[in-house]
Structure 1
Amino acid sequence: MLFALRMSLMGLHFMVAGVLGVLLGLCRPFNPDNSRWCARFYALPAMRILGLTLNTESNQVFTNAHPCVVIANHQSNYDLFIFGNIVPRRTVCIGKKSLKWVPLFGQLFWLAGNVLIDRGNPLKARHSLRNTTETLQKKDTSIWVFPEGTRNLGQDLLPFKRGAFQMAIEAGVPIVPVCASTYSRHMKLDRLDSGTVMIRTLAAIPTAHLTQDDLPDLIALCRLQMKTCIEEMDRQLSGA
């Protein structure tokens, strides 16, 4: 009963937040700070509706490292509501082109200045990534990427794709890993208290003197740091 009520309220909330986001986008289209405000529209009420408690361990680097490439683990569609609480100023997200067909959310995502990648067309995808690299270099804007490329459903981190790391190296900006605990396998939406989610931001990893030859080692380092962090948070939440 509680689960059904929550899903009904979330459906209503999703539409209301979408309308607010589209209105904001129409008032100041493609402003890179729209993404942060839209994320808050979705995230803040959603956490109350879902009955989730958020424990955030952030650092000043995450707030001030600008521009940068933010990388985060991707568990489920609920990531929008989890990570939306901490999206920093002037940060846009990379998403797949098919998102634009999602009613309200797709239009909001586009008007918020986020980047839509056509993964089925490698030429267009490379062109979009090249433009994104220029954005990092010249427009004081950070990029949020889920380097796994798809949801891992609360299992182990999937292999990381190269795009986010190539952009960071080419633009010479740091990479800031952001990790969420494995909430998708543990939250209980049929209970009043659905559970606790931890988010931890790690130290920025500089790329200023790296080349594309350093790409495999950079990806391996980031993945190892994130995997270790997630496992540590999971142990902390389980009391182990």
Structure 2
Amino acid sequence: MEPSWLLAGAALLLLLLLPALSPAALFQLKIAGYCALCLAASALAAPLCLLRHGGRTVRNMRIIANIVKTFKYIYGLRFEVQGLENFEVEGPCVIVSNHQSILDMMGLMEILPDDCVQIGKKELLYTGPVGLIMYLGGVIFINRKSTSNAKTVMSGVAQTMLDENVKVWVYPEGTRNGNGDLLPFKKGAFHLAVQAQVPVIPVVYSSFTSFYNPAKKLFISGKIRVEVLQPIETKGLTAEDVADLTERCYCTMRETFFRLSGTAREVNGSAPTSQQ
């Protein structure tokens, strides 16, 4: 029998067996498939980036985004986006958004503006095809272990951002958080914006919990509402203003998060922020 027929038969058998799987097994299968898809997409995008642009450049992010945008059709996700016009600022800026799960990459690539890169920890550079595609896309890698505070971490990033005239995307919560709220923000992104004297653009994604919840082994189709908020200017601000800027952005994004998610939760007037 031809190998292609064997693969087709195996795929058909898998489809027939899916309804019989337990929720936990089905969840793990979907997660494994998502990880495999990320690896395959990275392996596909890398040679395209090299052929098109010859090496590491932020322009490769457009190739990567176009590939990742197809993932939503596989997983039945729909995006409803508002405020894309707020990305239309001249020169560099710092974009901050909430960080919920491994699916955030799809949300990022769905609305990624031109000339925009992420900040990533240096360890990600050594994750095979994924690390390679991040490198080719111009991701700015930082070594968080060798620094003592956020201001020091971001000083080199600010210079890179200005020298290369790029927008930088940061997750100020610092880690994934799918608990239906926002974690207190770390101050690094806001130090970066103030040091470079560039605007901060908040981006808020609605809660994933109705369709993606690892605790409940839930991973189904769903809708994600996204809102790009108006830029917050930082010209004239100093390091002394970073704490206030961080809290203002946190409160605005948290209120927007609850509204987009349809959560009837009362929003605090203020919230503590991380010291990092």
The TM tier, using the shorter chain, reads 0.7 to 0.9
Separation of aligned partners in 1, 2:148 and 2:261:
40
Counterpart secondary structure, 1:32: coil
> Which 4+ runs in 1 deviate beyond 6 A?
123-127, 189-193
Separation of aligned partners in 2, 1:222 and 1:191:
31
Pairwise CA distance, 1:132: 1.6
Judging changes above 3 Å, is the alpha-carbon distance between structure 1 residues 188 and 151 closer, same or farther for their aligned structure 2 residues? closer
Residue 60 of structure 2 is matched in structure 1 by: 34
- Radius of gyration: which is bigger? 2
Superposition pairs of residues 1-240 of structure 1, within 5 angstroms: 1=18, 3=26, 6-7=30-31, 9-27=33-51, 28-42=54-68, 44-122=69-147, 129-183=154-208, 185-187=209-211, 194-235=221-262
Separation of aligned partners in 1, 2:166 and 2:210:
34
Deviations 1:20-49 (A, max 9, x none): 23224434322112224313322x121111
Pairwise CA distance, 1:7: 4.5
Counterpart secondary structure, 2:131: helix
**Higher RCO (C-alpha 8 Å, min separation 6):** 1
Pairwise CA distance, 1:65: 4.7
Pairwise CA distance, 1:128: 5.8
Counterpart secondary structure, 1:200: strand
**How many correspondences in the alignment?**
235
Pairwise CA distance, 1:180: 0.3
Pairwise CA distance, 1:153: 1.9
For structure 1, the residue ranges without an aligned partner over 5 or more in a row are none
Separation of aligned partners in 1, 2:219 and 2:101:
21
- CA root-mean-square deviation: 2.6
Residue 10 of structure 2 is matched in structure 1 by: none
Separation of aligned partners in 1, 2:149 and 2:239:
21
> TM-score, length-normalised on structure 2?
0.77
Pairwise CA distance, 1:117: 1.5
> Do 1:54 and 1:196's aligned partners in 2 also have CA atoms closer than 8 Å?
yes
Could you tell which deviates more after superposition, 113-122 or 13-22? Answer: 13-22
Could you tell which deviates more after superposition, 87-96 or 108-117? Answer: 108-117
Counterpart secondary structure, 2:123: helix
> Do 1:6 and 1:49's aligned partners in 2 also have CA atoms closer than 8 Å?
no
Deviations 1:192-237 (A, max 9, x none): 961110110000000011111111110000001100100000118x
